[in-house]
Structure 1
Amino acid sequence: MINWFMEQTISLSVVCLVLLVLHRFILSKFGAHYTYFMWISVPLLIIADLLQMILPHHFSWFGSNNAASIIQQYYVFASDTAALSAGLFDLLYLPYLYGIVITLLVANIVMEYGYLQRLIQRGCQLDIPSVKLNVLAHPDIESPMLAGFITPSILVPTSFTLLEESQQQAIIQHEIYHYQRGDLWANALAYGLTVLFWFNPLMWLSYRRFRQDQELSCDAQVTASMKAQAKIAYSRTLLAYSQHAPLSMLHTHYGDKTILKERILQMKKQHGKSTLTLIGMTLAIGVGAFMFNQQVFAGNNLSVENKADAMAMPVIRIEPSYPIDAAKEGLNGYVQMSFDISPNGSVNNVRVTKSSPKQVFDASAVEALEQWKYQPSATGFKDLQVQLDYVIHQPDKSVERITVK
């Protein structure tokens, strides 16, 4: 599981970094609709990886289920302070820390849900013709928002009734477009991924940019057919309801002050949108996410002359622990093992065929390999070979080595 998180963190970091760096260029060239849509590549990256794990025989690009004759080689790294690091790692109980942070983030959402429900229950119903959603005014609301999953409602400040009818309609249409597009569910998915990878700052930056692009896209939809004076009135409404409210997955943020200038400027640069183009982008991004995941999957530190000849690749690889005594003494070494893979992808019949120094790293290597998971197959594999190199620094000449061929 730790390996999966690390691999996905690297993949997601690359994708998010590219989207963040190229954001201004994409927004200026293609407009708010397509910029917002580009964020679908983040969940598609996870989906592509899960599909490879669940249905590997449909997505295997690495050959048939014949026995592999190539030794797979992986490195287990440590440093001269490995003993201290290992002790600190055990002391921190990182899995528990991860679980505590997740619990706090989820608890915060639960409390926010209760707060929004109270607002909805105490809101004053407004009679807005031709609007199917409930429109509720509440004195504690500073900016219009769409809230609720099962029965969404539009919450507005009490000052909403003082606006001109055209301004009211623009705000309502903005929130209705959020509802029609399913943005609340998209926000839940985006926030869920961010919570899972809360330790990655790029995920939080991307989540914020995703939510801001969501508002830009709605602005573009509502103001597409507006005249200049109507756009000016809409901009004034944005200014009146601008705020620095924290982002929430439970409601939309009409008055996000942090991008107020950007939203007003985008109204002057209208870009159209095409359903066929969006469908094409979805297919292209989906294929791209799958291809990218395949490259990451194939691009681990496997040392072979021809990677296409590798018949079995681990989908879950547990890192061996570096023996503390070996780390203290600065020992390098390796363990070469043979093993079988059952049809369901589990490892069994692990045998140490060669190791150096003898019996120093064997137990650690065997314990880790027995927990690896491979792609399920029709018949499984027999007599595969793997070599784990334990490395602190360049090995001494006195340490026996073998060359993987």
Structure 2
Amino acid sequence: MIDWLWQSSLLISAVILPLLLGHAWLLRRLGAQTTYSLWALVPLSLALVALAEAGAVTTSGWTQLQVVTTVQQEVAGWRPAQLPALSLMIWALGVTAAWALLLRHRTKSRASWSIGRHLRVVRWRDCLSPAISGLLRPTLYLPLDFSARFSSDQRRLVLAHELAHWQRGDLHSNFGAFLLLSVFWFHPLVWLGYRRYRMDQELACDAHVLGKTSTAAQASYGRALLLAAGPTQSPWSLIDPLTNHYGAYKKMKERLQNLTQSKSYTRLPIVALSIVVFAAAMLWQSPTVASETGNENELATPIVRINPQYPAAAAKQGLEGKVALRFSITAAGETDAIEVINAEPEGVFDSAAVRALEKWRYHPRFAGDGHEVLLAFTLE
């Protein structure tokens, strides 16, 4: 788990950092709606990691299996092997704290969690600006002076903005984004990316509402944004995945500047991303095996598999590693001609891996050369 978090953190850093650094350029060239859609790169990149880790890997037409061997023996004193367990505990506490803070905020804000199919409108004295909330049923919160503060045109545009959040599925997307935020709570770039994603969502919703309106409507909408803004904004108003707020004054400058940009939404970046994801999935899909019997789509999995013995010296030193082996399967289903083709670290786990593989047994229909297996040695 710790290895997955580390590898995934590096990957999403490579995705989030360009989106943050190139945000101004992307906004000018692509527009608010297309720029917002590019944040789909983050979950898509994690899906690629899952595809890379899952299943078997095709190697020269034969099946390469991965077997993980773990050791749970007690080692006296403080050892490096204990660090992964401690790290996992700290990570779990962070995830729990993130969701506990969210639930506490949701309880204090009295947002709706009720189930239903229709919009509920609530006039709330503590509501400074319009906001829509909910996951299964939308609840629209309006300030008590909503009718007096906004003109009829402004009310129409403001309500259209809030309803667009629900119709576009923004609240549901935010829930998934917060799920990723809670998993990677330790990553500063994830927090910065989530904040930028939520602000881009507002810009995209503005562009959606004003896509077919006149210049006069844009001016009216701009005045409505200023009327709806407040001098301060709680950090949780941006983190809360099930509520969308208009924002504080300092957030309005960017929104007002983008009201005059009329770039339409283009699906080209999303189509390009879909092609990349599909190509990656094809590369990492489960392999097929053409055995002597002509039975395709069947993995050469062992009937008898003996896990290697973890070397005691390696366990005491907290060493982990992996050994890649190439072998043949005889007509009797036994393994033969075993050779080590790669080992990390060299010479530590080789003998244990070879001794274990000698005891494996396969169905005779998989008889042949060129089979490979990867044995991973990890500590719990």
- TM-score with structure 2 length normalisation? 0.68
Q: Give SS of 1:115's match.
A: helix
Matched, 1:139 2:125: yes
Q: Find out whether 1:24 has 2:11 as its counterpart.
A: no
In the alignment, is residue 281 of structure 1 matched against residue 269 of structure 2? yes
Give the one of 108, 111, 114 matched to 2:107. 114
- After superposition, the Cα gap between the structure-2 partners of 1:61 and 1:266, relative to the gap in structure 1 and judged at 3 Å, is farther
Give 1:191 shift. 0.9
Q: CA RMSD in A?
A: 4.6
Question: Shift of residue 235 of structure 1?
Answer: 1.8
- Matched residues in 2 for 1:257 and 1:365: separation? 65
Provide the C-alpha distance between the structure 1 equivalents of 2:317 and 2:161, rounded to a whole number of angstroms. Answer: 63
**Partners in 2 of 1:282 and 1:385 — Cα distance?**
37
Structure 2, unaligned runs of 5 or more = 67-76, 286-299, 301-310, 329-334, 358-364
Residue 65 of structure 1 corresponds to 62
Q: Which has the higher contact order (CA 8 A, sep 6+)?
A: 1
Cα distance in structure 2, aligned partners of 1:14 and 1:322: 38
Amino acid of the residue matched to residue 234 of structure 2? A
1:191 aligns with 2:185: no
Q: Give how far 1:110 is off.
A: 1.8
Q: Distance in 1 between matches of 2:45 and 2:186?
A: 18
Alignment partner, residue 86 of structure 1: 80
Task: Answer yes or no: is the 8 Å Cα contact 2:80–2:317 preserved in 1.
Answer: no
Decide whether aligned partners of structure 1 residues 93 and 19 sit closer, same or farther in structure 2, where only a CA change above 3 A counts: same
Residue 104 in structure 1 maps to residue 104 in structure 2 = no
Q: 1:338 to 1:237 in 2, by over 3 A?
A: same
Q: Indicate the SS of the match to 1:149.
A: coil
- The match for 1:217 is 204
Matches of 1:173 and 1:67, distance apart in 2: 55
Deviation at 1:86, TM superposition (A): 2.7
SS where residue 122 of structure 2 aligns?
strand
Task: Give the 3-state SS of the residue equivalent to 1:105 in structure 2.
Answer: helix
- Return the match for 1:175 from 162, 183, 192: 162
Farther off after superposition, 171-180 or 132-141: 132-141
CA deviations 1:254-284 (Å, max 9, x no partner) are: 22444311110101111123xxx42x43332
Tell me how far 1:202 sits from its aligned partner: 1.1
Contact 1:140 1:157 in 2 (8 A): yes
Aligned to 1:403: none
Q: Which residue of 1 aligns with 2:137?
A: 151
**Any conservation in 1 of the 2:62–2:370 contact (CA below 8 Å)?**
no
**Alignment correspondent of 1:392:** none
Q: Is the 8 A contact 1:41 1:289 kept in 2?
A: no
Residue identity over aligned pairs, in percent, reads: 27
Q: Which amino acid aligns with 1:147?
A: S
The answer to whether structure 1 residue 15 and structure 2 residue 34 are counterparts is no
- Structure 1: gaps (5+ residues): 73-82, 122-131, 298-311, 313-319, 342-347, 371-377, 389-405
CA contact (8 A) 2:64 2:374 kept: no
Question: Which of 234, 248, 255 in structure 2 is aligned with 1:245?
Answer: 234
Instruction: Summarize the alignment of residues 337-356 of structure 1 with structure 2, pairs less than 5 Å apart.
Output: 338=325
Q: Normalising to structure 1: TM-score of the pair?
A: 0.64
